[in-house]
Amino acid sequence: MSEKKMNVAVAGATGAVGNQMITCLEERNFPIKSLKFLASKRSVGRELRFKGDMIPVEELTEDSFKGVDIAIFSAGGSTSEKFAPCAAKDGCVVVDNSSAWRMDPDVPLIVPEVNPHAIAGHTKKGIIANPNCSTIQMVVPLKPIYDKCGIRRIVVSTYQAVSGTGKKAIDELFDQTRAMLNFLDYKKNVYPHRIAFNCLPHIDKFLDNGYTKEEMKMVNETRKIFEDDSIGVTATTVRVPVFYAHSESVNIETKEHISAKEVISLLENAPGIKVTDDPENNVYPLATDAAGQDMTLVGRIRDDESIPNGINMWIVADNIRKGAATNAVQIAEILAKKYL
């Protein structure tokens, strides 16, 4: 880590991701000169702890970024759309967690284990995008396979935790579960259907092609990160009654043949990955093991016997950590060390 200390702002500091962002900055000992916490007017008056100090939450405005070097945003798409350019205009580099800027050709979309070189493109707009949580955990283990033998097609189904929708959704799963177990009426505000004891094949809005926006994020972001529009990607994204960590069933067709055994040894030596694959002893990736830590767990790695070059795997990661906050702080670390 460079000795140069940064003036940092966290926009959306009071949210589920923002809260984790603060923990990650602290845990990773990010080189901080000054730290600002920004949120909506509603949160003014609150204070949040950082390394033993209480820091007041300020209202996010166009003038929040004067003298700030790096601003990490997780305050929703429309907030990023409006305020990231204000921050960039004041010379600050934005690391944005929303989908607002991800597909902008002048905005790099970064997973540090996969395409750190693309961070250099931050000079175009002053904004770097953090991919969607489901994309991040999928591309981390696919990268070494892509480099070794190419990937023709990816078929993914996700099992996504409610924390990906934010604080209100965490409360909704808790409240509905408690109500059901007590034979009481339950309320639903966040999702269109009950999430307790249910699975909803619906994340984000439906689009004209019948897919959801979340599914198309996985398709488009994966191609952008690999800089390869020839990869076929199809996704079904499902919300499940789990609090933390997304699970994914991923089937790939590679260009050249690779065996499941070779995939295991490739992944055992790849950054950010923990191979968790000993089925005889009931060892495979679980949301309960992934939650609260930063590795992407990969297991159930096996040959797809229905085609010549197919591999199946089960990938699990903490959606709020590697899927959002940790990835953003890793990007900020590279920025601070190499570019600012």
239/28 Cα distance (integer angstroms): 30
Contacts for 84 with CB less than 8 Å, ≥ 6 apart: 71, 73, 94, 96, 100, 101, 126, 127
Binder of residue 129, out of ligand 3JM, ligand NAP, none (CB less than 5 to 8 A by kind): none
Complex with ligand NAP: residue 12 or 272, whichever CB lies closer: 12
Catalytic residue among 24, 92, 133, 149: 133
Tokens, residue 292: 């609260």
77 binds ligand 3JM (CB under 6 A): yes
Identify whether 246 is a catalytic site residue: yes
Contact 293/321 with Cβ under 8 angstroms? yes
One-character DSSP codes across 2-27: -S--EEEEEETTTSHHHHHHHHHHHH
164 binds ligand 3JM (CB under 6 A): yes
Q: How many CB atoms lie within 10 A of CB 236?
A: 16
Contact 128/119 with Cβ under 8 angstroms? yes
Q: Exactly one of 26, 28, 58, 77 binds ligand NAP (CB under 6 A); which one? A: 77
Q: Exactly one of 6, 9, 17, 190 binds ligand NAP (CB under 6 A); which one? A: 17
User: What does the per-residue mask of binding to ligand NAP show for 114-143, with x meaning CB under 6 A?
Assistant: ----------------x-xx----------
Instruction: Decide the pairing of beta strands 296-304 and 273-275.
Output: parallel
* Subset of residues 148 to 187 that bind ligand NAP, contact rule: CB under 6 A: 164, 166-167
Q: Which residue is nearest to ligand 3JM (CB)?
A: 76
21/19 Cα distance (integer angstroms): 5
**45 φ, ψ (degrees, to nearest 5):** 110, -20
Contact 155/222 with Cβ under 8 angstroms? no
Least distance in angstroms from the C-beta of 33 to ligand 3JM: 29
* Subset of residues 81 to 110 that bind ligand NAP, contact rule: CB under 6 A: 97-98
Instruction: Decide the pairing of beta strands 296-304 and 310-317.
Output: antiparallel
291/82 Cα distance (integer angstroms): 32
Judged by CB under 6 A, how many residues of this single chain contact ligand 3JM?
8
Q: In this chain, which stretch among 11-19, 189-197, 280-288, 301-309 interacts with ligand NAP, using CB under 6 A?
A: 11-19
Q: Exactly one of 25, 60, 290, 291 binds ligand NAP (CB under 6 A); which one? A: 60
User: What does the per-residue mask of binding to ligand 3JM show for 115-154, with x meaning CB under 6 A?
Assistant: -----------------x----------------------
List contacts with ligand 3JM (CB under 6 A). 76-78, 98-99, 132, 164, 217
Q: List active site positions.
A: 133, 246
List contacts with ligand NAP (CB under 6 A). 12-18, 39-40, 42-43, 60, 74-77, 79, 97-98, 130, 132-133, 164, 166-167, 323-324
